[in-house]
Structure 1
Amino acid sequence: MVTMRDVSRAAGVSSATVSRVLTGSAEVDPATRQRVLDAVRQLDYRPNLVARGLRRQVSQVLALVVTDIENPFYTAVCRGVEDAARLKGYSVILCNADRDIDKEREYLRVVADQNASGVVISPASAQNTDIGALVARGIPVVAVDMPLEQAAGSVLVDNRAAAAMATRHLLAGGARRIACITGPSDNATASDRLDGYMRALHEAGRPVDPELAIYSNYRESGGYEATNRLMDLADRPDALLVTNNRMIVGTLRALQSRGVSIPDDVNVVSFDELPWALELHPHLSMVRQPGYLIGQKAAELLIERLASPTTPQHIVMEAELIAKDGRARTPSSAI
């Protein structure tokens, strides 16, 4: 069995340094920390945290792994998880994966080794996120934002219906050429939103122009680059559906740099709120997801699963469209 001494030899550091890296109990030079983590990964070292007394003895602990803590949507999800968990006597530890599969994998390994009671996760990728180690140890997982195989449940938004609703709103406003800036192609949520956009165009008898559908990176830089590509087209769009609130920041920056006016030159609908969005003049229309309720329900599902294992439950919630006039619309009430 691989020991901490083996890791310290491989990394060229003391056992005390290895312990500090693994427990986070003190500051460690970043380069040294990386050498230790590399040695842990290469040797497949599994610290016995229970035997070392690091396993919590009284508090019940849930882990929350989010893909982008800077996104206000995930901040709301976090608050919902925490509030629901605390009502049931659980504490929550937060891990931010930064849409990085390797970082996510590292956090999931730590969660498994610490024997957390359960995990709520917004996966970095529907295809590449691996919760097999958690499932093998009997640690239930509830997914939010996108589904995961092997999960004990999920709480999602009907992304296709939400994107279709936003697209219909733009069509009703007279848009002739609507573009969609969505997330990475391997992201199920991004693909669903693109599907909803195309479905609404098909229903309206409008052609789907491949030039107007752009996969990006769910960050400001992606929104900026994608918007500039669209504005460089000979027949540029007169409306944009931007399916993530961090990308909309880049979109607005690109439009401003080009002197493009909203909504006179191009109409825009974004996904998810930003704290300052309603202060813009003119206001942006936006699709609002119930982030807090998603987190709250995910924690409740997970805790129910811990109390009494049942068939996986999958809950789908509706988003709403907040139009420029301030009125909220759901898919069933949208034009």
Structure 2
Amino acid sequence: MVRIRDVAGHAGVSTATVSRVLNGKQVRADLAEAVHAAVAELGYVPDRTARSLRTGTTPVIALVVPDIANPFFTSLARVVEDVAAAAGYSVVLCNTDDVAAKERGYLEIALRQRMAGVILAPADASPDLGALLAAGRAVVVIDRDVPEAVDRIAFDNEGLGRRATEALLRRGLTDIACITGPESTSTARARAAGWRAALAGAGIEPGPGRLTYANFRVDGGRAAAAGLLASPRRPQAVLATNNLVGVGTLQALAGAGEHGIAVGIIGDLPFATSDMSEVTLTPLRPEDLGRRAIERLLARLRGEAGEPVRIVLPLQ
């Protein structure tokens, strides 16, 4: 059986360095690379049983997200899994469909199965985290805000809404509608606030019906855009506040043969949908969100995180 000292000897480092790398702690990049190479070459497997006995939990992390079909969460999950695996943890991916009852079920499973921690993109504003926190489990909330005293990591969503709207304003467009997610989610509200702030900064008051709360999916964007097309006065542009809403918006415009309305989208389109000449993208980096989340969770599992914090990722 390959032991940790075998990995250290093969990599030319100390056993302490190997332990730090496997537990996700910061070491020099060249040393970490040597350790990972030695682990792969020797086929070393961390002793998870010993760790489970020591901590009372299993080396498993639940990643609970609203929509695993959304490439945003696929990219995020890949980074979480890579970093977790390097630290000796497995990741279970759970899809809630933005349904609070499904979310509660997954959180209960995480508790019953003694999973070490949970990374959660909540289905609503008040996820039931009480039992997990009472049991001392590590929890990091991503993408959306919650009232509980837990680590929370999100993009600067108001800044994103403002930047995406300003990009349309620079094109000389002034009548800009906004299609955002459910009003119950902090992300949807913040991006809509950014849209409104950018218009206000340009001295523009949006007309009635220019802000629509939908769901953060293709059908939500499609239905909301169809509603705008059916209004007596069509907007010059539409801001879609996530990638799938953007896809639905483009589908509705293409289906109506409408090519004169510009579209701004927060995020990257997951697949080609129509003519992109009128589309302005404000990209996101889900990999950054995933990396910060798993690093924060691992730090909490190591007892290094301190008091819960709210981290806002700056605009790129």
Q: What TM bracket, shorter-length normalisation?
A: 0.7 to 0.9
Aligned match for 1:158, one of 151, 156, 159: 156
Instruction: Name structure 1 gaps, 5 residues minimum.
Output: 1-55, 320-329, 331-335
Cα shift readout 1:53-85 (whole Å, capped 9, x = no counterpart): xxx999611111011111111111111111111
Equivalent residue, structure 2, for 1:96: 95
Q: 1:58 to 1:313 in 2, by over 3 A?
A: closer
2:310 counterpart of 1:311: no
Q: 1:258 to 1:214 in 2, by over 3 A?
A: same
Give the counterpart letter for 2:188 in structure 1: A
SS of equivalent residue, structure 2 residue 173:
coil
Contact residue 264 and residue 279 of structure 2 kept, 8 A: yes
2:232 counterpart of 1:237: no
Give the counterpart letter for 1:86 in structure 2: A
Equivalent residue, structure 2, for 1:208: 206
TM-score (norm 2): 0.78
Distance in 1 between residues matched to 2:80 and 2:63, nearest whole Å:
8
Distance in 2 between residues matched to 1:179 and 1:217, nearest whole Å:
16
Equivalent residue, structure 1, for 2:83: 84
Distance in 1 between residues matched to 2:113 and 2:149, nearest whole Å:
19
Poorly superposed stretches of 4+, deviation over 3 Å: 56-59, 277-281
Aligned match for 2:282, one of 287, 294, 314: 287
Q: 1:156 to 1:307 in 2, by over 3 A?
A: same
Distance in 2 between residues matched to 1:248 and 1:130, nearest whole Å:
31
1:1-335 equivalent positions in 2, closer than 5 A: 60-126=59-125, 128-261=126-259, 265-277=260-272, 280-282=275-277, 284-308=279-303, 309-319=305-315, 330=316
SS of equivalent residue, structure 2 residue 209:
helix
Contact residue 227 and residue 254 of structure 1 kept, 8 A: yes
Cα shift readout 1:268-289 (whole Å, capped 9, x = no counterpart): 1112112334995426321222
Identity %, equivalent residues: 39
Distance in 2 between residues matched to 1:281 and 1:176, nearest whole Å:
20
RMSD after superposition:
2.1
Distance in 2 between residues matched to 1:70 and 1:271, nearest whole Å:
17
Cα shift readout 1:184-209 (whole Å, capped 9, x = no counterpart): 11011000011110011111110122
Distance in 2 between residues matched to 1:63 and 1:186, nearest whole Å:
24
Q: 1:58 to 1:107 in 2, by over 3 A?
A: closer
Q: 1:314 to 1:93 in 2, by over 3 A?
A: same
Distance in 2 between residues matched to 1:278 and 1:211, nearest whole Å:
26
Cα shift readout 1:142-198 (whole Å, capped 9, x = no counterpart): 011012233531221000001101111111101121000000110110000111100
